[in-house]
Structure 1
């Protein structure tokens, strides 16, 4: 089963996604659980956020895979770990960071890679096809009426296209809003 969880920034999506992944892993007897961390920490705030996430998932049985780009490579890493991806559950946190990493594979001095969103869509679809279960976390940052600079507008449009592609292939699509789970497609993982 594939699940997309989207919502505003820092509103509990990760904790919700962890519970969903645990429910899926338990219900499908999908052996190993993998937390695919895509964020590259750039400052103290980022590092603290990473540490908090690690503390919060301690004891939940996730093996952490740090994959900033080429997200489908998680399938190969799991095989190298001696596990079967089709009998495993993946939690990808987050598509938001993944897109930024793909847009700027070096530093931010070069122009954004125009193929980044397409690579993300292909990679995420490949992971969804190859996994026993996959839970994808994304930030819902593209719906306000404000007009931003060209980079931000492009980033928001690309993230929206990734979320639309994931929504199409996922069995369940959930939006977290004001602490409530709004199910747009499928049902809550039990």
Structure 2
């Protein structure tokens, strides 16, 4: 089963994604694909909260902030995976550590995520909904937002279940949430 969850920041997406991944993993192995590369104390605190929230659930963490394909060459196809988050993965791939910007990253990341979903029995994707602002942004930020929208649409079309998480509530657009 493939699941795509989107929603605003700190609205319960990760908690729901953990519940779904744990449910789907029975009786198999459970993997957490961590994509955030910490840049400051706020990032480190957020990562610590996520690690604490999934403690004891049986997740094996796979750090894959860059080069998702390379990091998952030997992925267990029968395992249950949670990728949190598509948003951070695109940021890492588009805005490179050396300061360069890769405008081809959205198309590549979309292809890699679809290929990954095709190889795995179960995967839950988490993405942030960042499209409701009325403010104009600079060209690079708009390119990032368009790129994330492309990936989100691609995943939504391919996944069995698509849902939005808002203030802890769920709006299911496609399929069913198994928990």
Whether contact under 8 Å (2:12, 2:166) holds in the other structure is no
Structure-2 separation of matches of 1:160 and 1:41: 23
Structure-1 separation of matches of 2:66 and 2:157: 22
SS in 2 for 1:86: coil
- 1:70-124 Cα distance to aligned partner (Å, 9 max, x none): 223343243xxxxxx221011000000000111122233x2x2111001110110
Indicate whether 1:159 and 2:148 are aligned: yes
Indicate whether 1:25 and 2:7 are aligned: no
Gaps of 5+ in 1: 79-84
Indicate whether 1:126 and 2:126 are aligned: no
Cα deviation, residue 52, structure 1: 1.1
Give the alignment's TM-score, normalised by structure 2: 0.95
Structure-2 separation of matches of 1:72 and 1:137: 18
Map 1:137-148 to 2 at 5 A: 137-148=126-137
Whether contact under 8 Å (2:77, 2:119) holds in the other structure is yes
Give the alignment's TM-score, normalised by structure 1: 0.90
Structure-1 separation of matches of 2:135 and 2:72: 38
Gaps of 5+ in 2: none
Alignment match of 1:101 (pick from 70, 89, 92) = 92
Structure-1 separation of matches of 2:18 and 2:71: 18
Select between 15-24 and 143-152 the one with higher mean Cα deviation. 143-152
